[in-house]
């Protein structure tokens, strides 16, 4: 099975450059045998330089595998000289081991050098004339921290426990899930309400995509990938939404769903029960309401005598308070939760300014809810404006004007736009075409196959997803990358790169994929056209400039190669690779003096040069001076 290149976007610069620099040898039907005449190793502290010394230019590819981390270098038509001893090639160290395998059943035959690396180390591979220099060195602290941060928490299982009163659903993870967002989707024609929880930066690939619950309140739970995390959707078993709480537990996240309760009424006196049609998404509010219910049912709430009740009723009536009566007992409840409670009781639209803050203790027995609301507003120095079955609550120091026309806006500082955008996002997610939903599921499965190093299976799924979602250039880009770097299928690389370019003519990365694949197939005219397109961005891609320069050098166009290298230096500044390439081009043009100057510049540039490269430069200087 072909293996995955997990850092394609970063490593492709080097791999494509090496691929281009040697594509002539790779595509030659009767390539000459490459003999590794010696393996030179230099161990210094916790760094190691390994140089494979050959008798001709090697044709090779490299990639990385994980668990454990391994650098793999495949050299075509290669053999080891009689005196080379692999067992002693690597000095004794605690961060790297070497294994060499001959794959004679491949066409061409492959000699595979596989280096297993400790997590603390990374690598760099460079071709210097006939030699391959492999440098192994410690990662920087920042790189290690980023790598550790990139490993997300993992959800392992969905555990369900049911009884007559409630259903508990535990989303089992490696640790507590503290960062999550919850919301509801309601009032859809002929579709039951649902609630969803978004968890970012978590791996949910181990979970089943759909789990049937089958209780009276909840029908099923669905899991879908969303960005770097997942979305968990809870489908109600009834038309209206269930009552629920969500809380962090040491094993992950626990969602508790209660059986629906109703509002009981005696005369003009109501005791608050959870309304199954309410779409509360705040577990704190749920708990507070439940505690109020318990207080009322158990009789702990204060009870007025019939005489006092009649007096209060008359008093409220004369004062203009004729709304539904409530009995509540809350301790230090957040103001926003209080107002949401009034929304549930009254069925009046309620908008609260974000500037409203604070908490209060609320113990009321058999009073109109609008009377309780006015008391709270007075205590907290708030105002209300009421019109069209809508109440707006805001700080007394702020100003509010009702819109006079349909296109007017609210003028106080409430963040209405955020609410509208959230509703739009939910609506858009509901109206996604079926083909796109199928494509997203295929993309999720393809990503899992890719992580498991099953690249061929992943490519098949990516192709199916692209057929369902043909205007998504990210999918065609992904396919072009896989077929070029992992599967070495140049024809398919060009095909999917062209698909990306049809969708976006400015997709320089797709143009680069097509250029390299065309060059590998020795289709020079197409390669030049795609290379020209690949450097058309502003600024041009680094890897496009380097690869185009290598291609121009290979095709005996040294002037073009020099222009591309100079352009690279102008935009990004010179590197060891560009400087050695420029010197090599000067040598090929017979411009010995310029080549000598470039070699000297590189030698004294301050760049850290591997010993093999220093030796090569000094050798060229000696030859040029003679």
The per-residue pLDDT for range 101-137, each reduced to its tens digit, is 988 877 678 899 999 988 888 888 888 888 889 999 8
**In the predicted structure, residue 263 carries a pLDDT above the cut 80:** no
Provide long-range contacts, Cβ within 8 A and 24+ apart, for 562-565. Answer: 564/535
Domains detected in the chain: 32-146 (2.60.40.3500), 152-258 (2.60.40), 268-425 (3.55.50.30), 434-573 (1.25.40.10)
Predicted structure pTM score? 0.38
pLDDT exceeds 90 at position 501: yes
Categorize the per-residue pLDDT at 265 as very low, low, confident or very high, splitting at 50, 70 and 90.
very low
Quickly count: other Cβ atoms within 10 Å of residue 533's Cβ.
20
Phi, psi of 426 (to 5 degrees): -65, -45
What confidence tier does 275 reach under pLDDT thresholds 50, 70, 90? very low
* Arithmetic mean of pLDDT, 362-388: 82
As a whole number, mean pLDDT of residues 393-398 equals 86
Residue 412: partners with Cβ closer than 8 Å, 6 or more residues away: 353, 392, 394, 398, 399, 400
Confidence band, pLDDT 50/70/90 cuts, at residue 321:
low
The pLDDT, as a whole number, for residue 143 is: 47
Q: Are 221 and 234 in contact (CB under 8 A)?
A: yes
| Confidence band of 279 (pLDDT split at 50, 70, 90) | very low
pLDDT of residue 129: 83
The mean pLDDT value of the chain amounts to: 77
Q: What is the pLDDT of residue 431?
A: 52
Burial of 617 (0-12, 13-18, 19+ CB in 10 A): buried
For residues 570 and 580, give the distance between their C-alpha atoms in angstroms, rounded to a whole number.
16
Higher pLDDT: 203 or 323? It is 203
463 has a pLDDT exceeding 90: yes
Least confident of 77-81, 351-355, 431-435, 523-527: 431-435
Alpha-carbon gap, residue 223 to 230, rounded angstroms: 7
Lowest mean pLDDT among 52-56, 167-171, 238-242, 343-347: 343-347
Nearest to 387 by CA among 401, 367, 375, 372: 401
In this prediction, residues 49-64 reach a mean pLDDT of: 85
Mean pLDDT highest for which of 23-37, 226-240, 345-359, 518-532? 518-532
Q: Phi, psi at residue 442, to the nearest 5°?
A: -65, -40
Question: Does pLDDT of 439 surpass 60?
Answer: yes
Between the ranges 15-19, 405-409, 500-504, where is the mean pLDDT highest? 500-504
CA 365 distance to own-chain centroid? 51
- Which of 287-291, 342-346, 501-505 is modeled with the greatest confidence? 501-505
Q: What's the rounded Cα separation, in Å, for the pair 109 and 103? A: 6
Closest CA to 371 of 293, 297, 318: 318
Rounded mean pLDDT, 147-165: 72
pLDDT exceeds cutoff 60 at 261? no
Bridge-based pairing state of the strands 153-162 and 202-203: parallel
Question: Which band of pLDDT confidence, cut at 50, 70 and 90, is reported for residue 504?
Answer: very high
pLDDT-based confidence at residue 606 (cuts at 50, 70, 90): confident
Residue pair 76/108 in contact (Cβ under 8 Å)? The answer is yes
For the cut 70, the answer to whether the pLDDT of residue 301 exceeds it is no
Handedness of CA 533, 537, 540, 543 (dihedral sign): negative
Local confidence band at 379 (pLDDT 50, 70, 90 cut-offs): confident
């Amino acid at each position: 099975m072909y293996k995955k290149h997990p850092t394609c976007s970063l490593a492709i610069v080097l791999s494509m450059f090496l691929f281009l620099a040697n594509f002539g040898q790779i595509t030659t039907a009767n390539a000459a045998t490459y003999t590794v005449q010696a393996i030179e190793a230099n161990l210094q502290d916790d760094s190691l330089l390994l140089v494979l010394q050959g008798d001709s230019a090697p044709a090779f590819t490299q990639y990385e595998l994980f668990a454990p981390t391994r650098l793999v270098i495949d050299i075509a038509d290669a053999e080891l000289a009689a005196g080379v001893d692999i067992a002693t090639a690597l000095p004794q160290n605690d961060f790297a081991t070497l294994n060499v395998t001959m794959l004679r059943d491949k066409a061409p035959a492959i000699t595979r050098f596989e280096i297993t690396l400790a997590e603390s180390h990374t690598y760099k591979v460079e071709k210097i004339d006939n030699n391959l220099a492999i440098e192994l060195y410690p990662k920087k602290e920042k790189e290690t921290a980023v790598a550790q941060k990139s490993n997300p928490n993992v959800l392992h299982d969905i555990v369900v426990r049911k009884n007559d009163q409630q259903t508990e659903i535990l989303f089992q993870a490696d640790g507590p899930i503290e960062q999550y967002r919850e919301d509801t989707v309601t009032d859809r024609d002929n579709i039951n309400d649902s609630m969803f929880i978004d968890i970012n930066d978590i791996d949910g690939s181990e979970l089943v995509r759909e789990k049937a619950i089958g209780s009276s309140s909840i029908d099923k739970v669905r899991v879908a990938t969303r960005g770097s995390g997942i979305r968990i959707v809870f489908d109600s078993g009834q038309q209206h939404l269930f009552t629920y709480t969500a809380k962090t537990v040491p094993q992950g996240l626990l969602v508790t769903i209660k059986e629906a309760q109703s509002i009981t009424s005696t005369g003009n006196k109501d005791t608050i029960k959870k309304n199954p049609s309410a779409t509360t998404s705040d577990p704190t509010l749920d708990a507070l309401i439940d505690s109020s219910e318990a207080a009322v049912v158990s009789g702990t709430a204060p009870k007025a005598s019939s005489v006092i009740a009649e007096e209060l009723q008359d008093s409220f009536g004369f004062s203009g308070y004729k709304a539904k009566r409530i009995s509540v007992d809350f301790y230090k409840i957040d103001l926003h939760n209080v107002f949401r409670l009034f929304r549930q009781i009254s069925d009046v639209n309620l908008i609260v300014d974000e500037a409203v803050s604070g908490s209060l203790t609320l113990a009321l027995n058999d009073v109109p809810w609008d009377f309780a609301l006015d008391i709270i507003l007075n205590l907290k120095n708030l105002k209300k404006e009421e019109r069209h079955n809508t109440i707006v609550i805001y700080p007394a120091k702020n100003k509010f004007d009702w819109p006079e026309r349909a296109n007017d806006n609210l003028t106080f500082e409430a963040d209405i736009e955020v609410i509208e955008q959230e509703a739009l996002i939910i609506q858009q997610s509901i109206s996604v075409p079926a083909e796109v939903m199928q494509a997203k599921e295929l993309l999720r499965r393809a990503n899992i196959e890719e992580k498991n190093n099953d690249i061929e299976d992943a490519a098949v799924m990516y192709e199916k997803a692209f057929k369902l979602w043909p205007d998504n250039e990210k999918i065609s880009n992904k396919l072009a990358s896989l077929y070029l770097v992992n599967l070495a299928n140049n024809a398919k690389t060009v095909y999917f790169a062209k698909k990306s370019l049809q969708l976006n003519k400015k997709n320089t990365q797709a143009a680069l994929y097509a250029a390299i694949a065309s060059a590998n197939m020795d289709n020079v005219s197409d390669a030049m056209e795609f290379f020209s397109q690949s450097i058309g961005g502003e600024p041009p891609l680094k890897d496009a400039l380097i690869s185009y320069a290598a291609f121009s050098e290979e095709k005996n166009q040294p002037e073009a190669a020099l222009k591309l290298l100079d352009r690279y230096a102008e935009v990004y500044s010179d590197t060891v690779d560009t400087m050695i390439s420029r010197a090599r081009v000067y040598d090929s043009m017979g411009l010995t003096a310029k080549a000598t100057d470039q070699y000297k510049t590189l030698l004294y540039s301050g760049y850290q040069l591997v010993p093999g490269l220093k030796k090569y430069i000094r050798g060229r200087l000696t030859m040029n001076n003679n």
